[in-house]
A and B are shown apart, each in its own frame.
Chain A
Amino acid sequence: MKKIIFLFFGIFFFPYFGFCAIAQDDEYTYFRFPEEDLYMTIYKKSDEIEEKALKNMEMLLNISPVVAPSALAGETRSTVKEMVTTPISEIIQRILKNNETVQDLNIICKSSSILVDYYQCKEKIQKTYAQEIKILQQEYRLHWESLSESVWANGTLEDGSFDVLVDLNIIDTIFFGRNAKISGGPNPFLFDENSVSGVLPPGSTSYSASKNVQYGSLNNNANGTNTDTKTENTNKKDPSNKNTQDPAQMCIDPEALFVKKPSDSGSSGSDNTKNGNESENNNTREAELQRQRLLGNFSGSRTRNYLNTSAFPENTEDTCTGEQVALFGKRVCIDLRCDDIICIHITLIPGYRKVQMQDNDCIECSIHKGLNVLQPLSGLSGKLSPNDAPTEPWFLTAFANLFRNAGGKFVWIWKPLPFLVYDNPQQNEGPKSVITPKSSTSSTNSNKTTSSTSSSSVQATTPESKTPKKETKKKTKEERIAELDSMNQVLFRLQDSEYDNCDLILSKLPPGIENISSVFQACQDDSDQRKLQAEGKFLTTSNNYTTRTAGEETTKQESYTQFFQDVVKNHLSSMGNEISAMNSLYGTIDTEAMEASEEKCATKAN
């Protein structure tokens, strides 16, 4: 049991370990500063000075229980027996307190070659003791003064009930997860990776990543984030790579910091792993208690964020054998072998998660993951920012600012969140819907002449295929850019109301643009309006049909024009989202594959 702390904490707590070494030399024991009876605890610890002074006195006066009887050959047998059984330190204490007897002085003074008279002997003992105690008190004072100033801010909870550096380390972990740069000192809220053995090779990527957390080395964090992403993607795509799941991801539990304390886990000792199996049966009860203690770290409300069933789906196959304990939905088997020590053998069972696991549950990890997910939807390859997109500002602006500040990128967030208006996809339209780019500046009235600039930006930011392109494909792309250019011109003129006729608009649009539902709907409304106008009915801004008299026709015509412009503007607003979505779709379309497929079909047809 005493060896648990050595295994779990002692190795990694360098300041604590270093202090233990000092304390061992100076014979000052290390203890946890209490908040209750602080003064009395310190006072009682000062008794160590007297004990050490008495031991030093024995050495200085060249006295020991073995030497003393030989120096008193003429004494009676009972006296010798008393001298043998009485520690010299007690005799010195009697002398210091004037409670000594003649035998006491005999023991001390006859055995000392420098002393002649009893009273001189006694004075010499007292002076020597006073000098020794003065030196030790000075040492004690310096030692505890330095210790008292660092107990609340030395990065460990071993010596105090709280620690400011530990709090900062917690914040660091919450922000950066396993990539937290916890320098040097201990990390009391992380499990010891030495407790995990089995399938993890020491040189694997995940092992190194967890090592960053344990040791907090600043040098090992250079590629931490990339490593995490790589590991996560590998786990998602390759089912055969499940064994490389980092066990440390199960162990990072910042919320348990206020409950879990290193001193509660046991005491230190030496390793006895090899003989664990031999005395396994003799310590079943202890094993059970320790197992409960281990499981207790994952019990209660803290499990909701880290060990939920969705993250660790139940494994139907019971692969744990013997006395192994199944944890994490039977995905981990822990073999407890106990002989005054807990030896845990953890076997990670291959499998994959049903959902994305928060293997690095931190703020930066969530932001990083969100950026990766949103990357395909990021408009014109990051040109559009949420603030520029015509969507609900109160929600998207908040998250957009967060993402922009944290990631340093402009991220466009897709409109159709659950509470926003979004239509169902039209089933009849094929995947070859016309791609209609729209730059971020096209929704404003002040950019009339930026069509060429916009098209050039589209060209610059459009994702290009990695494979070398043929001449025919270049033409296809140029044609597409020309379409985009013409599309932009039409949109600007629509916005400036140069085209107030739907037929005129459609004639100016490139082929296929009518498939965009909003434009089509606008033209449909325009066509309906014209029919109604022919029937003497006019459409008001309230979108109701009313019958008008001939005398009011002129006024209603102006109203109709205004209405049409409003319709166009509204559709432009909605098209802003739609065109952006189409443009993102354009970024994800493998044009070469489509054209190759078309060529293949054409060849077959021929």
Chain B
Amino acid sequence: MKNIFFFFGILLFFGLHQPLSFAEDQTKKIGFLENECPPSDLSSGEKINKYTFYTDYHEYKKIFDESKDMNSALSQVQEMYHPRINKRFNEEITKIKQLTEDAYQEKNLPEKSKNIKAQTDSLLFTRELTQRLREYQCILYQYRNNPQFVASTGELLSGSAPKLFALENVFDVEMEKADNTLIISLRMYAQMRMYYAIHLKLQMIIQDLIDEKNALRDFVGIVLNIPAKFTNSGSKVPLQ
């Protein structure tokens, strides 16, 4: 019986390997692509392509346009982007933690193939996060070399010109940091998605083994009470 659990665990491992490998391949492609950024005059609600909209991009752009301080605008955008990604990870990890022993059984899946289902989930999640990251990176890139507040002559002469230089370094660091964080998080998510199912199976096996161990120990406890010698004993009743 225990061999069946092991065998199922191995099948689960290989069954998940393909979609997880796909997710990992996706993470390797994450990176800033300047050509994929929308034009700076992109109107709100316009499609980026036939699949998705730049929903987050317009929110970030609005903050940068309306803010007078690049630092505060960057902080606001950071506080919008990272909690969103974090929330999505929490949701997906919660799904993993809610897996049961028959999570990958075919009967519990709506369509035909469980591999397609798992692959679709991983694909959609990875694609969504990649898209959000690119929107975030694009907005940082576009405002990276764009000094928003040019001081007047009087301000320059008086020395009170507040911001004349772009925050290139800070923006670059934030872009790279967001990229790295998402890659590492996706890798951990992929690993957890694979290992947690195996962990569940192993826990079930452990529980069964503990029960069997206790039963066997109790049986040996009975055997210990059987005398080693049966002197002058015999059966008077014939077995029918």
Contact surface of A with B, Cβ cutoff 8 Å? 33, 35-40, 42-43, 46, 49-50, 96-99, 126, 129-130, 133-134, 137, 140-141, 144-145, 148-149, 151-153, 162-164, 167-168, 170-171, 174-175, 254-255, 258, 305, 356, 358, 361-363, 366-367, 369-370, 373-374, 376-377, 390, 399, 402, 414, 416-418, 421-431, 433, 516-518, 521, 567, 570-571, 573-574, 577-578, 581, 585, 588
A112 to B93, CA, bound (A): 50
Separation of A60 and B210 alpha carbons in the complex (Å):
60
Determine which of B164, B209, B230 lies in contact with A425 in the assembled complex, contact meaning CB atoms within 8 Å.
Answer: B230
In this complex, what residue of A is CB-closest to B202? A167
A570 vs B71: C-alpha distance in the bound complex, in angstroms? 99
CB atoms of A39 and B214 under 8 A apart:
no
Cα distance A98–B166 in the bound complex, in angstroms: 8
> A376: which B residues are within 8 A, CB to CB?
228-229
User: Are the C-beta atoms of B167 and A416 separated by less than 8 Å?
Assistant: no
B180 cross-chain contacts in A, Cβ below 8 A: 46, 137, 140-141, 144
In the complex, the chain A residue whose C-beta lies closest to that of B199 is A162
B99 lies within 8 A of chain A by Cβ: no
Interface core residue of A43, A129, A140, A571 (most chain B CB under 10 Å): A43
B206 / chain A contacts, CB cutoff of 8 Å: 167, 170-171, 174, 254
Q: Report whether over half of chain B's contact residues are helix, strand or loop; otherwise say mixed.
A: helix
- Contact between chains at A431 and B231 (CB < 8 Å): yes
Counting CB contacts under 8 A, is B105 at the interface? no
Neighbouring B residues of A149 by C-beta, 8 Å: 187, 191
Assess whether B209 is in contact with A426, with CB atoms less than 8 Å apart: no
| Cβ B238 vs Cβ A573 within 8 A | yes
> Which of B40-48, B54-62, B81-89, B107-115 is the interface stretch?
B81-89
Apart from the given pairs A361-B217, A574-B239, 20 other A-B contacts in the complex at a CB distance below 8 Å: A39-B89, A42-B185, A133-B172, A133-B173, A137-B180, A141-B183, A149-B187, A149-B191, A152-B195, A174-B213, A361-B213, A370-B216, A374-B223, A376-B228, A421-B237, A423-B233, A423-B235, A431-B232, A578-B233, A578-B235
User: B76 in the interface, Cβ–Cβ < 8 Å?
Assistant: no
Bound form: Cα–Cα A516–B233 in Å: 9
In the bound complex, how far is the Cα of B175 from the Cα of A293, in angstroms?
Answer: 46
Whether a CB of chain A sits under 8 angstroms from the CB of B143 is no
Residue numbers in A under 8 Å from B231 (CB-CB): 425, 429, 431, 433, 585
B93 near A46: Cβ-Cβ < 8 Å? no
Given A98-B164, A366-B213, A425 and B233 contact (CB-CB distance below 8 Å)? yes
Of B97, B169, B170, most A-chain CB atoms within 10 Å: B169
A-B contacts, 13 listed (Cβ < 8 Å) = A38-B189, A43-B86, A97-B167, A99-B71, A151-B191, A174-B206, A255-B210, A370-B223, A416-B226, A425-B232, A574-B235, A578-B234, A585-B230
Task: Report the Cα distance A55→B101, complex, angstroms.
Answer: 50
Whether B229 pairs with A588 at a CB distance below 8 angstroms is yes
Partner of B205, one of A134, A171, A356, A424: A171
Q: Which of A37, A40, A99, A171 contacts B202 (CB 8 A)?
A: A171
CB-based nearest B residue for A370: B220
Do B173 and A50 touch (CB < 8 A)? yes
Please tell me which one of the listed residues B184, B189, B240 contacts residue A141 in the complex, with CB atoms under 8 A apart: B184
Contacts of B182 in A (CB 8 A): 39
Known contacts A96-B170, A97-B167, A140-B180, A35 near B191 by CB under 8 Å:
no
B232 touches A144 (CB 8 A): no
Q: Which residue of B163, B205, B210, B238 contacts A567 across the interface (Cβ within 8 Å)?
A: B238
- Looking at B164, B173, B196, which has the most chain A CB atoms within 10 Å of its CB? B173
Distance, CA A38 to CA B85, complexed state (A): 10
Contact A43–B232 (Cβ < 8 Å): no
Q: List residues of chain A with CB within 8 A of the CB of B183.
A: 141, 145
Instruction: Report whether A516 and B224 are in contact in the complex, using a CB–CB cutoff of 8 Å.
Output: no
Q: Is B103 located at the chain interface by the 8 A CB criterion? A: no
The answer to whether B198 has its CB under 8 Å from any CB of chain A is: yes
Chain B positions within 8 Å of A258 at CB level: 203
Q: Contact check, B172 vs A516: say whether CB atoms are below 8 A apart.
A: no
Closest chain-A Cβ to B171's Cβ sits at a distance in Å of 10
Q: Judging by beta carbons under 8 Å apart, are B232 and A421 in contact? A: no
Instruction: State whether A174 and B210 are in contact (beta carbons under 8 Å apart), knowing that A43-B177, A148-B188, A356-B224 are contacts in the complex.
Output: yes
Q: Mark B71-105, 1 if CB is under 8 A from A, else 0.
A: 10000000000110110011001000100000000
Q: Does B176 contact A (CB under 8 A)?
A: yes
Q: Which residue of A lies closest to B195 (CB)?
A: A152
Per the bound structure, the CA–CA distance linking A521 and B86 in Å amounts to: 84
Cα-based distance from A126 to B221 in the complex (angstroms): 76
Partner of B188 from the list A38, A175, A358, A516 (CB cut-off 8 Å) is A38
A421 touches B212 (CB 8 A): no
A153 contacts B221, C-beta separation under 8 Å = no
Chain B hits for A163, CB < 8 A: 199
Which residues on B sit within 8 Å (CB–CB) of A50? 173
Q: Point out the residues of chain B lying under 8 angstroms from A148, CB to CB.
A: 184, 187-188, 191
Q: Whole-angstrom distance from the CB of A411 to the nearest CB of chain B?
A: 11
Q: A126-B169, A423-B234 are in contact. Are A39 and B86 (CB under 8 A)?
A: yes
Contact (Cβ within 8 A) A167 B83: no
What is the chain B residue whose CB lies nearest that of A140?
A: B180
Contact A366 B217 (CB under 8 A): yes
Alpha-carbon separation in the docked complex, A356 to B222 (Å): 11
Chain A residues in 8 Å Cβ range of B233: 416, 422-426, 578, 581
Residues of A within 8 A of B50 (CB): none
Interface: B34 (CB within 8 A): no
Check if A421 sits within 8 Å of B239, measured CB to CB. yes
The yes or no answer to B63 lying at the interface (CB within 8 A) is: no
Once the chains are docked, how many angstroms separate the CA of A421 from the CA of B236? Answer: 10
How far, in whole Å, are A573 and B181 apart by their CA atoms in the complex? Answer: 76
Bound form: Cα–Cα A416–B236 in Å? 14
Give A527 to B113 CA distance when docked, in angstroms.
77
User: CB-CB < 8 A to B185: which residues of A?
Assistant: 38-39, 42
Q: Provide the bound-state CA to CA distance between A518 and B219, in Å.
A: 30
Distance of A122 from chain B, by nearest CB (Å): 8
Q: Given A97-B71, A99-B71 in contact, is the A373-B223 Cβ separation under 8 Å?
A: yes
**Taking the complex as formed, is B168 at the interface, i.e. its CB lies under 8 A from any CB of chain A?**
yes
Indicate whether A429 sits within 8 Å of B237 (C-beta atoms), given known contacts A168-B202, A170-B206.
no
Whether B224 contacts A373 by the Cβ 8 Å rule is yes
* A426 and B198 within 8 A (CB): no
Partner of B236, one of A141, A358, A369, A423: A423
Contact in complex: B238, A570 (CB < 8 Å) = yes
Q: State the CA gap A374–B167 with chains docked (Å).
A: 82
Complex Cα distance, B233 from A426, in Å, reads: 6
Q: Using Cβ atoms and an 8 Å threshold, which residues of chain A touch B93?
A: 35-36, 38
Please tell me if the beta carbons of B209 and A162 are within 8 angstroms of each other in the complex.
no
Contact status B181-A46, CB under 8 Å: yes
Are the CB atoms of A151 and B184 closer together than 8 Å? Answer: no
CA distance A435 to B93 in the complex (A): 70
Q: A152-B191, A416-B226 are in contact. Are A517 and B236 (CB under 8 A)?
A: yes
- A36 to B172 alpha-carbon distance, docked (Å): 28
Q: Are A98 and B165 in contact (CB under 8 A)?
A: yes
* Cβ of B37 under 8 Å from chain A: no
Docked pose: A171 CA to B184 CA in angstroms: 31
With a CB–CB cut-off of 8 A, which chain B residues contact A97?
Answer: 71, 167, 170
Give min CB distance, B147 to chain A, whole Å: 9
With A39-B82, A152-B191 in contact, is A164–B234 under 8 Å at CB? no
Report the bound CA distance from A151 to B182 in whole Å: 17
What residues of chain A lie closer than 8 Å to B178, measured between beta carbons? Answer: 43
Smallest CB-CB A-B distances: 6 pairs: A167-B202, A517-B234, A570-B238, A429-B232, A152-B195, A39-B86
